[in-house]
Amino acid sequence: MNKTLLRDGSQLKACLPDRQAKVSPFRGRFTLVLRTVPAICLLLIACVGCSPKPKVYIQKLKNSQYRLIVDRKPYVVKGVCYNPIPIGKNHEYDWWSDPDKPWLVDGKLMKEMGINTIRLYQSHEDIEEVKTVIRDLYERFGVRTIIGSWLGFWEYPCPFYGDNKFRERIKKEVLDMVTALKDEPGILLWVLGNENNYSCIGTVNPWSSEEIDKEPDPQKQKAMRANTYYSFVNDIAKDIHKIDPNHPVALGNGELTGLEYANKAAPDVDLVACIIYRGKTFGNLFRSLKATFDKPILLSEFGADCYDAYLKKEDQDMQAFFLESQWRQIYENLAGKNDGVGNCLGGTIFEWTDEWWKHDENNPDSWNTCDTSSNWSNGSYYFDIKAEGNKNMNEEWFGIVAMSKNPDGGLDIRTPRKSYYVIREFWKSPQLKHNNKKRK
């Protein structure tokens, strides 16, 4: 039977031997009353064009641009990185079981801003508590969740990506998480790793293996580590796709470092979740990724702190200026924009609230103060680069929502900063033509 017989109404009679035309009293159109229809015809009619689409997937357009589709509609990730550690606690605090349920207060503020996504770096050992957070945010506020895995990156003394037992253990942890959470309606996608690629070049948590150590050329050693690591990520991605065909899998990567190896070693990841701090502009990021590793990109960690390390005072204008410029670049590179690359899916700002424990994490006495000290430098954030030692990045001041102690006890008070309102207005009416105005 010619397939066109099932798509062209004028030819449909070829497989409907006994029919009667009748006018529908509801629509005023002709309907077919079928009396005897071969079973094969009914089956073919039901199947044509009915292959189910995943709930969340990445669509590659004819012009080789990409967009994220959620429930059959284009979806731009407008998100934040979320880790609601209260004042006086550090990263070991179990906020998932916090009786004050910070995500309920935060979710309301997120919805009012226009946030549709949060990024969680890691799941939690109590999977039911994780489900509660995901469901509350989605069902009450329409906020979806990106959830990831560190892939053992912070294990002591280092992540042994060259060791099979280590790899299998980490892989099992990830697949167990996916199996437990994949049917949650609020899940958006999975992220494997964060800046783990830096371990391949020896700058953070370096690792090696006997085989790599036998190679005398340091550059070849880096290549071997990169291929080992990205192959590991690809192996996990393939298994996730088998378990969960309804959500994309992202490779979490610091900058674009190492993606020339991922291009060959990790073809089964769906997108790159890029961690990047380039100040006002992302530069050639989108075009470079297109040329190096043609996958869509999610800016999964970016932002600006709101403390001027040079003038030694809070500067909300500075933070809002950088964030608005960054979001403008994200929107310029969404699919369908004339001058962009069309490979960006959105972003998650670092971060929702300040984290008062970060600068001196081993000193509990410091966790009750939002420390103004800085321990690293980034010239792309040029307003305060003249700070002492050029150390201008203030780790405890990245929140777009400030926190203060609640005098009555309970949940810390949330106070949106200027960037909260500036980005909210940008999302409502994106202005893509930058007029080079100076920050106010």
Whether the pLDDT of residue 44 is over 60: the answer is no
CB atoms within 10 A of CB 13: 11
Residues 398-424: tens digit of each pLDDT: 999 999 999 999 999 999 999 999 999
Whether the pLDDT of residue 49 is over 60: the answer is no
pLDDT at 338: 86
Q: What proportion of the chain, given as a percentage, has pLDDT over 70?
A: 87
Burial of 18 (0-12, 13-18, 19+ CB in 10 A): exposed
Q: How confident is the model over 206-228, as a mean pLDDT? A: 97
Cis peptide before 351 (omega within 30 of 0): yes
Cα-only R_g, the chain = 25
Q: How confident is the model over 6-16, as a mean pLDDT? A: 35
Nearest to 256 by CA among 235, 284, 236: 284
User: Whole-prediction pTM value?
Assistant: 0.87
Question: The tokens of 307 are what?
Answer: 């403390």
pLDDT at 22: 40
pLDDT at 316: 98
Q: How confident is the model over 280-297, as a mean pLDDT? A: 97
| Contact assessment for residue 287 and residue 300, using Cβ atoms and an 8 Å cutoff | no
Residue by residue, DSSP assigns 342-399 as S-EEEEEES-SB--TTSTTTT-GGGGGS------B--TTSGGGTTSGGG--B-GGG--
Any alpha helices (H) in 157-299, and if so which ranges? 164-181, 210-213, 218-243, 259-265, 285-292
pLDDT at 290: 97
Question: Which carries the bigger pLDDT value, residue 19 or residue 174?
Answer: 174
Kind plus residue range of the DSSP H or E element containing 330: helix 316-332
Pairing verdict, β 187-192 and 144-149: parallel
Rounded to an integer, what distance in angstroms lies between the CA atom of residue 380 and that of residue 191? Answer: 27
Rounded to an integer, what distance in angstroms lies between the CA atom of residue 57 and that of residue 59? Answer: 6
Residue by residue, DSSP assigns 31-69 as EEEEEE--HHHHHHHHHTT-PPPPSEEEEEPTTS-EEEE
Residues 109-166: tens digit of each pLDDT: 999 999 999 999 999 999 999 999 999 999 999 999 999 999 999 988 899 999 999 9
Nearest to 274 by CA among 304, 295, 260: 295
Confidence of residue 375 (pLDDT cuts 50, 70, 90): confident
